[in-house]
A and B are shown apart, each in its own frame.
Chain A
Amino acid sequence: MKRIRRNIKGALLLLMSLFLLLVVYFCYVLFFYGDRWFSNVYNSRVSIGREHMEIVPGDILDRNKVILATTKSELRVDPKTGEQREYYFRSYHPSAKDIDISHVVGYHDSKFGRSGAEAFYVRYLMGYNNSLLEKIYQKAFLPQERGNDVYLTIDYELQKFISKELKNRKGSVVVLNPKTGEILAMVSKPSFDPNNVGKTAKEDNLINRATQGLYPPGSIFKIITAAAALENIDDVEEQLFECTGFTQIEEIRVPCYEGNAHGVVDIKNAMAVSCNGFFAHLGKNLGWKKMLKIGEKFGFNYDFLFSDIRLLPSQLPLNSRIGKEELVWDALGQGKVLVTPLHMAMVAATIANNGVMMEPKLLYKVVGRNEHIQKSLKPRAFKSVLSAENARLIQAMMELTVTEGTGKNASIKGMKIAGKTGTAEIKGTKESKINPHAWFIGFTSDNPTLAIAVIVENGGTGGAVAAPLAKKIIQKSREMGY
């Protein structure tokens, strides 16, 4: 009997730990995912396009109070009764399509559902975050309950400028503040008109390429390879390599761009001129484990659960089964590596911020009734990726790229710009060669308040196409005071 009692106590422990697991999981999952579940587009509790809404959704504005989205009502004839009724709908800035705020702000349509900020911040827009007292007050004393206004970190004028510069080309631009993670601009073209989603949605223009577009990074990935080298290979800064236009690693043939022979280079020169041979050897010598480790430090293969924004994971599919050839091409940013423009901007921002990657922030503040500020932007460090020393070394490489290397078209008089170009090849067919993607990522190294990522799909080379675009955008941003 005593033994039975002892066993019963053991069973109690077992059952108790089951319930503890239940409670902990419940709280954990609600804390991290609760908002996400609520904002899910299948949540029918929040939907527009109805007559007399219980709660009128609040406005979405840019950081300078430019109204990007608001709720309007109009008299429509009820199809069933023939009476005129007041229907509510979301109305967006008239130039939404041209300046591409359509992806960032999103849409809220009775047929198409919700996307972008309209979806992600629906909790604030519908006032669900109001305190109990506030909810009671609004229900009792106001003629119409209203949600709260959401201010985004983006700058409408900057978005306008970038959209104009991108013109009709497909691609994406992201401008961040490396110290705070604020997204100052996020443009994805082609765009659509959120005032008329049904008619203007075409092919893939509803996709926000900045956060959901996966592209091969090409040479901009060399920043990651260089970081891996600095972390793992002693005195790699002193190592020299003779580039003859192509290099042979066992049975793999790696040519440099256009077969250019770069001569004798160290890591700094190799980065500046984007020498494939140098980095191919680095990749092979580091091995998949070390490359994977540094990639994961930079946030690759990671399911970002940022509070402000939904970002697809960037992919670095390295494992023990990878052959040397795939590893080498991965180290050059080709192979099977895929990245999003926002993530690449975060990488540039990390170098600018002494190796610390800040969480990207899109929510500037939430303002309730009577201008009462309910929530304010709080910068948060996401990862400590590199030591400040290594970050500075890479910064020097990126500065050289702009002063003397492939990024010359991004240099601005009177400013110090650090950057890296990328020309990401895409497999074409035998008949037609597809133009590579033009990449440029960089930051203002004299005063690191701006980091940028530019990709022009099938635009050509990074140096010729993406770099000059980045230059203009950085100049304009500085003019605007960032």
Chain B
Amino acid sequence: MKYVFPGSDLYLMILIDALALIGFIILQRLNPSMGLKQIEWFGLGSCIFVIMTLLTSRIKKWDYFYYPLIISGGVILLVALVFGKEVGGARNWFSIGRYTIQPSEFVKLIIIFVLAIELKEQRHRKERIPTILFVAVSIMLVVLQKDLGAAFIYFCLFILLYYIATSDWLITILSLGATVIGSIISYNIFSHIKVRIEAWRDPWANIQDKGYQIAQSLIAIGSGGLMGLGLGLGSPQVIPASKTDFIFAAICEEMGILVGLAVIGFYILIMVKGVMISLNASNAFDALLSMGATIALTIQSFIIIGGVIKLVPLTGVTMPFVSYGGSSMLASMGLLGILQGIAVKENRNVSDEEDMAEGVEDEEEVD
């Protein structure tokens, strides 16, 4: 790694590998064919990772990509909305041949790039409206597809990156208010949101239907104890979606709460590393891009773990690098590629500066 991509962050690679490994182990135990598939996705994801690293470290002028990105993002979401299938009640999948993909995962990357391109320069608020509209429409499209987790991630990306770039309180508070109003409206319109919130507040009261998933998740986590019941000795199969959304519960049940805490720790470290890369950036675009990737990974892991332990309502997102799923793995690898790309870019800038400084010294000596 050090030779192919000088300046890339080794710790990040180790952390991701550790998470993926835990994922492989538990998936293999749950369903060997899925375990194998997950390794395949990891391989494919690694290619995506390399591509993203190259793209972000080498392309200097991103302005040209602005409109293509917005258009492709919109098209993907519209297509998903119109042609997608509903799987698991609140997620929208789209099938191409043998594979099912989750478009909202890829649009996540598009949004990060769009926001970074938009926000890298200081501009008047009015001029930002097209981007703001794009994000708002994306959120609405995704809410219509019942993918509330993606909507929340898009929203966090927008509001955090916007504030980081502009320190603009007005837009921040306005968008916060708009989201709150939007949430209340959608709570009242969409019955499935009501069901989610009810199941979150008291799963035990409806343990036989609405609350079953969370209740079984909590029971599984409670059964594991510190050291876990042991691989293969628990019963994670009673938890619905144990290989995707609720994989954290399966991990806690069989590998123990200590491993669960370690997983949380890994995500915290990834976040810290991502922020460090972002702080190290020399220009606004790089900082915003890497920060966006960090925010996406962080918020996603927070809401899925939080949903599994009943801190927040369930939202149907996956655990980055751990959960079974091609789209999830590819998109997460893409985010990793963004981070490493910026790290490599900065490293090259620094060594370029060093080279230049050395050059000056040489000239003086020649005298």
Contacts and interface: CB of A to CB of B under 8 A. Distances in A.
Interface of A: 1, 3-5, 7-12, 14-16, 18-19, 21-23, 25-26, 29-30, 33-38, 40, 42-45, 128, 132
Given A1-B283, A15-B271, A22-B306, A42 B219 contact: yes
A366 to B, nearest CB: 16
B160 A11 contact: yes
B219 A22 contact: no
Interface in B257-301: 257, 260-261, 264, 267-268, 271-272, 275, 278-279, 282-284, 287-288, 291, 295, 298-299
* Chain A interface, >50% SS class: helix
B287 to A, nearest CB: 6
The interface centre, meaning the residue of A5, A7, A23, A132 with most chain B CB atoms within 10 A of its CB, is A7
Contact of B167 (A3, A14, A25, A132): A3
Interface in B229-282: 229, 234-235, 238, 257, 260-261, 264, 267-268, 271-272, 275, 278-279, 282
A19 B311 contact: no
A125 to B, nearest CB: 14
B91 interface: no
Given A38-B222, A45-B223, A23 B264 contact: yes
Nearest to A29: B309
B319 interface: no
Cβ-closest 10 pairs across A and B = A37-B222, A7-B164, A38-B222, A34-B222, A37-B218, A12-B275, A43-B219, A37-B219, A25-B311, A19-B268
A415 B196 CA distance: 59
A43 B311 contact: no
A22 B260 contact: no
A1 B287 CA distance: 9
Contacts of A18: 298, 302
A211 B165 CA distance: 58
Interface of B: 160, 163-165, 167, 204, 207, 215-216, 218-219, 221-223, 225, 227, 229, 234-235, 238, 257, 260-261, 264, 267-268, 271-272, 275, 278-279, 282-284, 287-288, 291, 295, 298-299, 302, 305-306, 309-311
Contacts of A14: 160
Contact of A22 (B227, B238, B264, B287): B264
Contact of A42 (B216, B227, B275, B288): B216
Contact of B260 (A15, A26, A37): A26
B238 A44 contact: yes
B291 A11 contact: yes
Contacts of B227: 132
A5 B305 CA distance: 29
A26 B265 CA distance: 13
A29 B310 contact: yes
A230 B5 CA distance: 78
B97 to A, nearest CB: 38
B225 A128 contact: yes
A26 B234 contact: no
A227 to B, nearest CB: 33
21 contacts: A1-B287, A4-B284, A7-B164, A10-B164, A11-B160, A11-B164, A11-B295, A12-B275, A15-B295, A18-B302, A21-B311, A22-B305, A23-B261, A26-B311, A29-B309, A29-B310, A37-B222, A38-B219, A42-B207, A44-B235, A128-B225
A352 B288 CA distance: 67
A7 B305 CA distance: 26
Contact of A5 (B225, B229, B279): B279
A16 B234 CA distance: 32
A44 B212 CA distance: 13
Contacts of B299: 15
B316 to A, nearest CB: 18
B205 to A, nearest CB: 13
Contacts of A45: 219, 223, 229, 234-235
A15 B219 contact: no
B223 A38 contact: yes
A8 B278 contact: yes
Contacts of A22: 264, 302, 305-306, 309, 311
B113 to A, nearest CB: 17
Contacts of B257: 26, 30
B221 A37 contact: yes
Nearest to A9: B279
Nearest to B306: A22
A34 B310 CA distance: 13
B215 A42 contact: yes
Given A7-B163, A22-B309, 15 more contacts: A4-B164, A7-B167, A10-B164, A18-B302, A19-B302, A22-B302, A23-B264, A34-B225, A37-B223, A38-B219, A38-B222, A43-B219, A45-B223, A45-B229, A132-B227
B267 A19 contact: yes
B225 A40 contact: no
Contacts of A25: 306, 309, 311
Nearest to B272: A12
A8 B225 contact: no
B275 A8 contact: yes
A151 B283 CA distance: 69
A8 B311 contact: no
A382 B267 CA distance: 39
Nearest to A39: B222
Contacts of A12: 271-272, 275
A26 B225 contact: no
Contacts of A15: 271, 275, 295, 298-299, 302
A399 to B, nearest CB: 44
Given A23-B261, A30-B257, A1 B284 contact: yes
Interface centre among A10, A22, A33 (most CB of B within 10 A): A22
A19 B222 contact: no
A306 B33 CA distance: 45
